[in-house]
Structure 1
Amino acid sequence: MHKKARVFYLILLVIAGNLPSFAQSSQISSPIAEKLSVDDSRKFDYFFYEAMNAKATNQYDAVFDYLKYCMAIDSTNANVLYELGNYYNSIESKNKAIDYYRRATVYDSDNHYYNMAYGSMCLEFKQYSDAIEQFEKLVAKDPDNTDLYIYLSESYRMDGNFKNAISTLDKLEQIVGMNEKISLQKYQLYTMMKQEKQAFAEIQKYIDKYPQEIKYQILLGDLYLQAGKTQEAYMVYSRAKSIDPDDPYLISSMAEYYQQTGNKDAAENELHIALVSPKMDIDTKLSILAQYVGTLQRTQKDTQAANALFDTLMIQHPQEPKLNLMYGNLLMMQNKKEESRFQYQLFAEANPTNPVGWEQMLYTTFPDSIDLSIKVCEQALTYITDQPQFYFYLGVSQYMKENYKDALDALQKGVVYVDENNTKLLADFYGQIGDLYYQIEKRDSAFAIYDKALSYDPNNLGVLNNYSYYLSLVKKDLDKAERMSSITVKAEPSNPTYLDTYGWVLFEQGAYTIAKIYIENAIKYSEEKKEDVSAEVLEHYGDVLYKTDEPEKALEYWEKAKEKGGSKSKTLEKKIETKTFIAE
């Protein structure tokens, strides 16, 4: 709810592959380096330095090849083993990486970087006893390296040895002095050991040393509150008030206290005081508001309570776009799309080259208002021409308005901006382009583009559905259509669109009884979801009923299809007139 002093977990971001290479000279240290012949030594040096040159230019395949040449000459060279560990780590082949790091430490047990790499990888593999052994050895050799104590303490913690983890941090504290992050970590460790007295004493020692520093009082109060000790929290907050009753962080902590103890009015009053305080910067105020909204959501309370607080901030900071963005998000949660769009528009106008504002505006318009969606996309593209999402929604919106030429133009322009690694978005783009080609009767081009889309994402359900359906309409490659459509119904067995498509493909294959089951289910699930059943689906069901010897019921559904309206069928009227199935 407010900007609390976060409990600091010393989580290690261990990326052993980023550790530096230690090829220091052509005389690479190795237990048997002196046994190499002059010719082999020259070859070894050549291949190793070529490997390092390739590494510097990110030619990783070449790195691997050169290192393997080195291994063929001297398989016990620790530097080569370490670099191979780095290589395998970079390609996520962790089992091989840890083995090569381990072997490197065997042949050069004193090397700091080899031991760090192996110890870090042991942590990743949850081989905590091995990690502890490595870091204990490193600490013994380099007792002034403060980072090593953090690694060792974390290894003990992850091994469940909280006592030794604390002891290691105590030693670190003797080197660096009192440190808030270390104390917070010790607080957490004592808490895990259910030694609350020692846990809170870790924070109390800061209060004892700096009695007029309000931040430590607030921190202790916050930790009491997190632990559910509301009475102790209130006592500490009261002491903090005697130092500075107007401190905005204390006020926001008090608001959290009142929220937890069920005094909603007092909580909102404290928040209001904090938000109008000139001592608090806008980012902190936004953070407090975000946490407050999160608390309201978490406790399933009406988020409308936050609107008045936003209004207060808007008056105080009328030119703050970040506030508009956050308020827009809150209004969007309340399904107030028009009001949220106004806030997003203010943000977008203040930051026209930031796609976030335009994207959020788009969420308020698509698919409810296609004309507005087109307008938002076109406005966004006047400022940022390389954002594919706006071309995509512009193309889809134009497609929905049956402006096929404009839709195709937007999609073809936008697809060139899609990152080649974003295969799902590429599939979506090409899938839409395929749909457009089919609509403008370029069917062979449509099917070729669908194949291209599926080459990027073989399980794109929208593409699989449309491709298979259009194949069934032209009675082409029905086996392929059936295979593709079957994937969609297995993925979403209650999706009416996919069920109808699969049923229609089966119908075209002559499997009328099975087709009837799927199209029947398409209608059933549409009705259960309170979705409209299209004239097309109703006509399909009539066709399959006719083919399964229910002509009277077939006529009933053909007539329902006609009543529904919007049918593009060329034979529906004839079917009703003749009471007979007529293929298109």
Structure 2
Amino acid sequence: MKYNRYTSSIIVLLLLFPCKLFSQEVGLILDEATRRKFDYYFYEAVNAKTQGKYAESFDLLQHCYSIDSTNASVLVELGAYYSSLEEKKRALDFFRKAVKYDPANYYYNMILGGVCKELDLKEEVIEIYTHLLKSYPEKVELYFDLANAYGDNGDLEKAIQSLDSLQKYTGVSDGITFNKFRLYNMMDQKEKAFDEIRSVIEKNPDNIRYKLIMGDLYLQDNQPERALEYYIQASHIDPDEPSLILSMVNYYEKINNKSAAVEELQKAITSSKMEVDTKLQLLARYINILRQNQQDIVAANPLFQKLFEQHPNNTRINMMYGDLLLLQGNKEEAMKQFEIYTRENPADPAGYEQMLRIVLPDTLALDKVVEITLAGIENIPTAPQFYFYLGLAKFQQKRYKEALAAYEQGLESAEFQSPMLESDFYGQIGDIHHFLKNNEAAYENYEKALKLNPQNLPVLNNYSYYLSLERKNLDKAEQMSGITIKAEPTNPTYLDTYGWILFEQGAYTMAKIYIEKAIEYGKDELSAEVFEHYGDVLAVTGDIDKAVEQWKRAREMGSDSRTLNEKIRKKEYIRK
């Protein structure tokens, strides 16, 4: 049994009968012997719970309840247990009884208040917090809780009155002011809402923060002229305040003055007062504006050079500059930035991943892929992506056993956040085993892959196709291949596989339909194997001349089929 005594989100249901929450009821008066007996069992129950023996604790508490059904501590403990057992009505009954026998207990009332709020028992929530405030007027959070309860119940005036009471008790604070601002806005009393902020400004005339808040609130309310008034007042206090520059950027974007927004961004980025994190956020916005306006993003490069001068040891600038250079197509310079970042942050996978992003499309850069992934594995041995790409590079280098070792090492050492990625590893291992003519090992690994991810489409396709080549378990192959074409009905590889399985099953007419679909959707991206399949289907369905055309096309594309030349010479389908 799982039990969490201190959860604040216990879900309970309202009983059908009315319940006076706060009238004190007198509990049982136990004689001394019975009290000692009760205390013993309650102590044992608490001790059992501390040791994680929840079932034993629950039984002991029930025994305590049979001795004294009015003890609030027992009632709360049992309420929490019943809640964890999903017996919500009984849990609610116990919590309410606990409050009834100990109405001044802050903890018990807060549990009940939270439960009622979660169940949308609005009136009851108000009753609970009102009661608590009488006993605990010093607890500031209760005023906010009561205000929110009134707000949830649609009584916004009383919500504001609750905050006014708190303000008299504590004085003006940001929390009270902004909550009242929100409530007045909900009541569509905007001037009263803004008056709340003005009252704070009047008390703090030299505080730039409040002027900026006022301007930002006007800007959010689509009153840019009023917002600008307060931004100007703020500039008189400190024209270089970073928050002011950000507000002015927002203002110019609001009024669609893009050039002025860019000027403010440039000013902010070169400011010595602004934090580097904020500058990088602004740079991202600046680059986005350049792209939206179809301007050359090279214009952002000098700003990065300025940042390098100001913050020479901050490698996040290198990472972001590398991303920008990559957008500009300058892969060589981008690679240098990512190498700097990775050298200084060897345990962050992001640098290696960006370098791989540059080199992976280039089949001539496989040695570089190996170098990057090996460095990634050395510094982050639990990251599965580096084993994956290492195996991929080794396979493309025709170093098949090394590729297999990379994937197997990944399965042993990496931490997989998703079963789908682990499934891909087994799929790759299966493909390599098939390539090495270890078909049974290939099928074993495909089964492991599908156990982790039954919708792994590449595995389903390869597994089913290789079974069809062996003319083995064709019903299973057809079922697996069928999943792939339902998921991706225009994928030419999956369509060809399904068509070929139908061919091996003797369903030649249907096979022809699916392979023709594969050719239709594949266009210029098809392999020689698809055209040989098409020729085979045409031959057995009686169109031998067209079949020979397809076989010849497959031969021109470099097919290594053992029977292809013989098919063309004899003008007939020859089974492999």
Band the TM-score falls in, shorter-chain normalisation: 0.7 to 0.9
2:452 counterpart of 1:456: yes
The counterpart of 2:569, out of the listed 557, 577, 580, is 577
Contact 1:367 1:373 in 2 (8 A): no
Deviations along 1:4-42, whole A, 9 cap, x unmatched?
Answer: xxxxxxxxxxx9854599xxxxxxx99679699998986
> How far apart, CA to CA, are the structure 2 residues paired with 1:134 and 1:328?
57
**What's the CA shift for 1:253?**
2.0
> How far apart, CA to CA, are the structure 1 residues paired with 2:291 and 2:91?
48
Closer, same or farther: CA 481–187 of 1 in aligned 2, 3 Å:
farther
Q: After superposition, where does 1:117-136 map in structure 2 within 5 Å?
A: 117-124=111-118, 126=120, 128-136=122-130
Contact 2:443 2:463 in 1 (8 A): yes
> How far apart, CA to CA, are the structure 2 residues paired with 1:266 and 1:390?
45
Contact 1:16 1:117 in 2 (8 A): no
Contact 1:348 1:357 in 2 (8 A): yes
More displaced 10-residue stretch of structure 1: 76-85 or 205-214:
76-85
Query: What is the number of residues matched between the two proteins?
Result: 545
SS in 1 for 2:240: coil
Structure 1 equivalent of residue 49 of structure 2: 51
The counterpart of 2:483, out of the listed 487, 492, 514, is 487
Deviations along 1:415-446, whole A, 9 cap, x unmatched?
Answer: 12344663222212212112222111211111
Contact 2:79 2:94 in 1 (8 A): yes
Larger radius of gyration: 2
Structure 1 equivalent of residue 497 of structure 2: 501
Structure 1 equivalent of residue 92 of structure 2: 102
The counterpart of 2:543, out of the listed 525, 550, 553, is 550
The Cα RMSD (Å) is 3.5
2:337 counterpart of 1:343: yes
Closer, same or farther: CA 215–136 of 1 in aligned 2, 3 Å:
same
SS in 2 for 1:549: coil
Contact 1:20 1:113 in 2 (8 A): no
Contact 1:81 1:103 in 2 (8 A): no
Specify the code of the residue in structure 2 equivalent to 1:106. Answer: R
More displaced 10-residue stretch of structure 1: 533-542 or 230-239:
533-542
Structure 2 equivalent of residue 91 of structure 1: none
Structure 2 equivalent of residue 80 of structure 1: 77
> How far apart, CA to CA, are the structure 2 residues paired with 1:83 and 1:48?
13
Specify the code of the residue in structure 1 equivalent to 2:76. Answer: N
Structure 2 equivalent of residue 229 of structure 1: 223
Contact 1:30 1:107 in 2 (8 A): no
> How far apart, CA to CA, are the structure 1 residues paired with 2:480 and 2:127?
55
Give the TM-score of the pair, scaled to structure 2.
0.83
2:197 counterpart of 1:206: no
> How far apart, CA to CA, are the structure 1 residues paired with 2:310 and 2:381?
35
2:276 counterpart of 1:282: yes
> How far apart, CA to CA, are the structure 1 residues paired with 2:121 and 2:286?
41
The counterpart of 2:140, out of the listed 142, 146, 162, is 146
The counterpart of 1:392, out of the listed 388, 392, 414, is 388
Deviations along 1:478-497, whole A, 9 cap, x unmatched?
Answer: 22222222222222222222
SS in 2 for 1:386: coil
2:242 counterpart of 1:252: no
Specify the code of the residue in structure 1 equivalent to 2:239. Answer: P
**What's the CA shift for 1:244?**
1.6
SS in 2 for 1:106: helix
> How far apart, CA to CA, are the structure 2 residues paired with 1:476 and 1:40?
72
Specify the code of the residue in structure 1 equivalent to 2:456. Answer: N
Q: After superposition, where does 1:7-26 map in structure 2 within 5 Å?
A: 18=7
> How far apart, CA to CA, are the structure 2 residues paired with 1:33 and 1:374?
79
> How far apart, CA to CA, are the structure 1 residues paired with 2:275 and 2:440?
61
Structure 2 equivalent of residue 465 of structure 1: 461
Specify the code of the residue in structure 2 equivalent to 1:52. Answer: T
Contact 1:558 1:576 in 2 (8 A): yes
**What's the CA shift for 1:135?**
4.0
List runs of 5+ in structure 2 lacking aligned partners: 11-24
Structure 2 equivalent of residue 445 of structure 1: 441
Structure 1 equivalent of residue 54 of structure 2: 63
Structure 1 equivalent of residue 527 of structure 2: 534
**What's the CA shift for 1:50?**
1.9
SS in 1 for 2:525: coil
Structure 2 equivalent of residue 405 of structure 1: 401
More displaced 10-residue stretch of structure 1: 460-469 or 210-219:
460-469
Structure 1 equivalent of residue 410 of structure 2: 414
Closer, same or farther: CA 68–522 of 1 in aligned 2, 3 Å:
farther
**What's the CA shift for 1:86?**
6.5
Closer, same or farther: CA 46–341 of 1 in aligned 2, 3 Å:
same
2:421 counterpart of 1:428: no
Contact 1:418 1:426 in 2 (8 A): no
**What's the CA shift for 1:195?**
2.4
**What's the CA shift for 1:503?**
2.2
Specify the code of the residue in structure 1 equivalent to 2:575. Answer: A
Specify the code of the residue in structure 2 equivalent to 1:536. Answer: E
Give the TM-score of the pair, scaled to structure 1.
0.82
Contact 2:383 2:415 in 1 (8 A): no
Specify the code of the residue in structure 1 equivalent to 2:506. Answer: G
> How far apart, CA to CA, are the structure 2 residues paired with 1:126 and 1:331?
53
**What's the CA shift for 1:378?**
1.4
> How far apart, CA to CA, are the structure 2 residues paired with 1:507 and 1:40?
80
Contact 1:418 1:425 in 2 (8 A): no
Identical positions, percent: 41
List runs of 5+ in structure 1 lacking aligned partners: 1-14, 22-28, 55-61, 89-95
Contact 2:48 2:56 in 1 (8 A): no
Deviations along 1:183-218, whole A, 9 cap, x unmatched?
Answer: 334333333333221222232222211111112212
